[in-house]
Amino acid sequence: MSTPPATPRKRLPLAPLAAIAAVVAVAGIGFLYVAGRLGDTPPSARTLIGAIEAAAGPHPGYRRAHSRGVCVGGWFEGTADGAALSSARVFAQDRVPVLGRLSIGGGDPHGAEAGARVRSLALQLRSDDGADWRLAMNSFPFFAVPSAEAFLEQTRAQIPDPATGKPDPARMAAVLAKYPSARAFRDWAASAPWPDSWANTTYNGIHTFVFVAPDGRRQPLRWSLRPRVPLVAMDAAARAAATPDYLAAEFARRLAAGPVAWDLVATLPAPGDALDDPSQLWPAARPTRTLGTLWLDTMAAQAQGVCRDVNFDPTVLPPGIERSGDPILAARAAVYAHSFNRREREIARGQAPEATGQEGPR
């Protein structure tokens, strides 16, 4: 090693050092800002999942929303109408295996099933070309709010006030006053019949998706799963008298008698119908196409069922189906990802004995 030449001691090069520090600091702070680590302005996906957790309370290992449910399995058979609208393999393949989850709305994994206003069905269709289609559908026909920010406002209004243990009615009133769709949703909740089974419930995709035909033609549409089992409504007295696992027990009895079917029906918009706003319902007279039929024939508890570790992110789509610009759809992808990360982390750390069925008798 050579000896460095003796140089006269120089003054510290302050200006270039400051410039280097500034470059590093600006880049570092910029990253922290984009990562949403410098506060909640603007609100981030973590802000929203935090509000959802605060509204429901801690339930380690469970989904942060629609926490109570069961795993189901079955198959999907597409129609020629479906194959004409989309090049997705699911519509051309004979039978596509389906993994799914029937659930109730809300973040309480112990909520009484019959008393839940919202019922949900999530599906994963994996066709033989390896493509993956995930659907997350609900019994409500439209979303209560038009934007991710409004969804955050609505969720925050549902957080219990520490003083009373209940949400502040004034905050919810403010959300209702601000958003006409929130009032329409309240009216739907007050008037729509309560199906007495997961099997006779209609599940709506609510968001607009774009089907891309084999010839490249693009058709925006919204889909619903319409039950083949006729609707039987449940009145308030029957709901109050039902056991907490009423829907799961009822569905198990039904499956014992044979598979349960829904038709996947697409509604096509007219010019002027809202494509990017799931809070705007399309008029009932719009034309429809039947895309296929879903059959469910198996069911398993979610604690050790396959659906537990699946994130039913509705933006996971096969080639031939594309997302619209709907901001609620995009926000669902963001919060589902955080919900999935958090519950899988709790499961990995052994913090979720109940959610994974590892718990001893209580």
Partner 1 sequence: MNPAARFVPLARLLHWLMAALLLSQLLIGVAMMASLVLRPPLIALHRPLGLALLVLVLVRLWVRRRHPPPALPADLPRWQAAAARASHLLLYALMLVLPLLGWALSSAAGNVVVVPGDVALPAIAPHDPVLYAWLRAAHGLLAWLLLATVLGHVAAALHHAWIRRDGVFEAMTWGRRPPPGTG
N-to-C CA span, the chain: 72
CB-based burial, 136-163: b 16+ in 10 Å, e otherwise: bbbbbbbbbbbbbebbbbbbbbbbeeee
Choose the binding region for partner 1 from 17-25, 50-58, 103-111, 113-121 (rule: CB under 8 A).
17-25
CB of 90 to partner 1, least distance (A): 14
**What 8-state DSSP symbol labels residue 324?**
-
Choose the binding region for partner 1 from 154-162, 185-193, 225-233, 304-312 (rule: CB under 8 A).
304-312
Q: Binding of partner 1 at residue 337 (CB under 8 A)?
A: yes
Give me the catalytic one of 59, 66, 207, 338. Answer: 66
Kindly determine how many residues on this chain lie close enough to bind partner 1 according to the rule CB under 8 A: 55
DSSP string, 65-115: SS-SEEEEEEEEEE-HHHHHH---GGGTSS-EEEEEEEEESSS-TT--STT
Residues 40 to 59: which contact partner 1 by CB under 8 A?
Answer: 42-48
Q: Binding of partner 1 at residue 345 (CB under 8 A)?
A: yes
CB-based burial, 235-259: b 16+ in 10 Å, e otherwise: eeeebeebeebbbbebbeebbeeee
Which of residues 34 and 173 has its CB atom nearest to partner 1 in the complex? 34
Q: Binding of partner 1 at residue 24 (CB under 8 A)?
A: yes
Q: Binding of partner 1 at residue 148 (CB under 8 A)?
A: yes
**What 8-state DSSP symbol labels residue 62?**
S
Binding partner 1 by CB under 8 A: which of 204, 208, 267, 311?
311
**Residue 66 appears among annotated catalytic residues:** yes
Binding partner 1 by CB under 8 A: which of 112, 172, 229, 334?
334
CB of 156 to partner 1, least distance (A): 14
Nearby residues of 138 by Cβ (< 8 Å), 6 or more positions away: 105, 118, 119, 120, 203, 204, 206
CB of 24 to partner 1, least distance (A): 5
DSSP string, 223-240: EEEEESSPP-B--HHHHH
| φ/ψ (deg, to 5) at 19 | -65, -40
Any idea which residues carry the catalytic annotation?
66
Binding site for partner 1 (CB under 8 A): 1-2, 4-5, 13, 16-17, 19-21, 23-24, 27-28, 31, 34-36, 42-48, 129-132, 148-149, 152, 308-311, 315-316, 319, 323, 327, 329-331, 333-334, 337-338, 340-341, 344-345, 347-349
